[in-house]
Amino acid sequence: MAEKRLTGEQQAAYWHKTRNLMWVILAAWFFFSFVIHFFAPQLNKIHILGFPMGYYMAAQGSLIAFVLMCVWNARSQDKIDREFGVQDE
């Protein structure tokens, strides 16, 4: 299959959307990696199933968020690729 060539304007628009997606994912990663854990002492006053919420967010919540971010990133990038006709078959 022949590779699709994008014009300079299309390339700029493609990379603009890809870059914006990257910054949003990076901000979400930062939030779940650092911000949530920064507030762990305050969150530990709340208990879920007998565990302090700070512990729960570190042990389970962040990991779930990271997996969801991976799925979200893959789907969003695929949508951008399809919009510009550069998707993998």
Q: What is the pTM of this model?
A: 0.76
* C-alpha 57, offset from chain centre: 17
Distance between CA atoms of 3 and 6, rounded to whole angstroms? 10
- pLDDT tens digits, 19-65: 999 999 999 999 988 888 788 788 888 887 888 888 777 778 888 99
The letter for the amino acid at 7 is T
Report yes or no: 23 and 67 within 8 Å, Cβ to Cβ.
no
**What letter does residue 6 receive in the DSSP assignment?**
P
